[in-house]
Amino acid sequence: MILNALSITMIFIGALSVLLAIWGGISSFILYRKWKRPSRPEEKTSLEHRSYLILLIMVIVLLVRLINWPFFYITLQSFISDIEGAMCIFGVTQVKPGLTRFLEFLKPITFFLIGGWFILHILDRATKTSPLMRRKLFLLSIISLLVLIDSLGDIFLILGIAPESLVSCCTTITDILNRPTRTTPESIFGPEYAHPLQVLFFITHLALIGIIGITLKSKTLEITFLRRRPILGLLFLFAILSAFIFLLSQIEVFAPRMMHLPFHHCLYCLWQYVPDSILLFALFSLGTFSVGWGFTTALFGRHGETADLLPVHLRKIYSFAFFFLSASLIMLLIHLLVD
C-alpha cells in the first residue's frame, strides 16, 4: 500500500461507505417492503420517522460517493511518483489492471444512478405527500449494493497497489497500431479516418445539443407520459452514442492535438498535460448524464402528486444538459482554435 493523505482518505471513505451501505441498503429494502400497506397510522408514522433517518444518512453517503469518482483519479495521480515506470495514471492502473478497469467501469454507472436518485429525491421533496418514497427506497437498496461493491473495490485496490511496482505506461499500449480505438474507425472510414471521425463528432454533438434545445422550446416535456417517455429514451440513447463518438474522437484526434503530441493517444496524459481538459470532460459527462437523468426522472418520477411538477423539473435537467454540452463544445473549439 502506498501511504499518503489521499490513500488514507480513500480507505476511510471506503470503510465508512461499506458500513453505511450495508446498513442503509438493508434498512431501505425492509422499509420498501413495509411501506406497501401500513395497517395503522402509528405504524406508518414510525416508518416515516425511520425513513427520514435512513434518507438523511444515505444522502450524505451518496454525496460522498459522487465526489469519490474524481477523488479516485486524484488518488491514482498521487501514486505516479511511487510506481516505477508510471508517467501518468495509466501506469498506476497497470499495477492491478483487472480491478482498476472494473472500478473505472463501475464508477460512472454508480455516479449516474446516484445522480438520478438525487433528482428523484429532490422531486419527491417538492411534494406534500412523498408519493415517490417507495420507489426511492427500492432504488436506494439497489444503489447501496453498487456503493458497497465500489467501496470494497476501492479499499482492495488502494491496499493492493504496492510501492516500487514496475509497470509499462501508456506509450506501449495506447499507441500501438492495432489499438481498438484506431482499428474501429479505420474499418469504417479507411486509413484517413481522423478527419471523418472529427466531422462525425461535431455533427452528433451539435445534433444532440440541437435536439435538447428543440425539446426545451417545444412542448415535448409537457406532453403525456406515454408519449414523452419514448422520445426521452431515444434522446438518451443518442446521448450514449454521442458519448462513444466523443471518447473515440478524443483519443484519436483531439487529445494528440491538444497535447501537441501527434502520435500519443492517452487520455490520462491529456489530463496531466492539459489540466483544463478535465473540466471539458467533466462538462461533457455531466451533460450526457443529465440527458440520462431526464429520462430516468420521466420514467420513475411520474407518480401522483409529482405529475404536475415533473415538466418543470425535466426542463431544469435538460437546461443543465444543454448548458454542459454547449460549454464542453465551446471549450474544445477554443482549444482547437488557440492551439
Of 253, 231, 236, nearest in space to 292 by CA: 236
Helix (H, G, I), strand (E, B) or coil at 165: coil
Using CB under 8 A as the binding rule, whether residue 312 contacts other proteins is answered as yes
Q: Which is nearer to other proteins, 230 or 339 (CB)?
A: 339
Taking CB under 8 A as the criterion, which residues in 287-306 touch other proteins?
303-305
The residues near 335 (Cβ < 8 Å, ≥ 6 apart) are: 254, 258, 274, 277, 280
263, 236 contact by CB (below 8 A): no
77, 89 contact by CB (below 8 A): yes
Taking CB under 8 A as the criterion, which residues in 192-211 touch other proteins?
none
Using CB under 8 A as the binding rule, whether residue 123 contacts other proteins is answered as no
Using CB under 8 A as the binding rule, whether residue 311 contacts other proteins is answered as yes
Helix (H, G, I), strand (E, B) or coil at 166: strand
Burial class of 53 by CB neighbour count within 10 A (0 to 12, 13 to 18, 19+): exposed
Using CB under 8 A as the binding rule, whether residue 335 contacts other proteins is answered as yes
The piece of 4-12, 245-253, 285-293, 321-329 that touches other proteins (CB under 8 A) is 321-329
Q: Which is nearer to other proteins, 38 or 108 (CB)?
A: 38
Using CB under 8 A as the binding rule, whether residue 19 contacts other proteins is answered as no
Phi, psi (5° rounding) for residue 166? -105, 120
Taking CB under 8 A as the criterion, which residues in 230-269 touch other proteins?
259-264, 266, 269
Of 122, 253, 132, nearest in space to 200 by CA: 253
Using CB under 8 A as the binding rule, whether residue 50 contacts other proteins is answered as no
Strand partners, 166: 84
The piece of 70-78, 118-126, 141-149, 322-330 that touches other proteins (CB under 8 A) is 322-330
- What gap in Å lies between CA 204 and CA 208, rounded to an integer? 6
The piece of 100-108, 143-151, 229-237, 307-315 that touches other proteins (CB under 8 A) is 307-315
* List of residues contacting other proteins (CB under 8 A): 35-38, 84-87, 91, 127, 129, 131, 133-135, 138, 166, 168-172, 175, 216, 222, 259-264, 266, 269, 272-277, 279, 303-305, 307-308, 311-312, 315-316, 319-320, 322-323, 327, 330-331, 334-335, 338-339
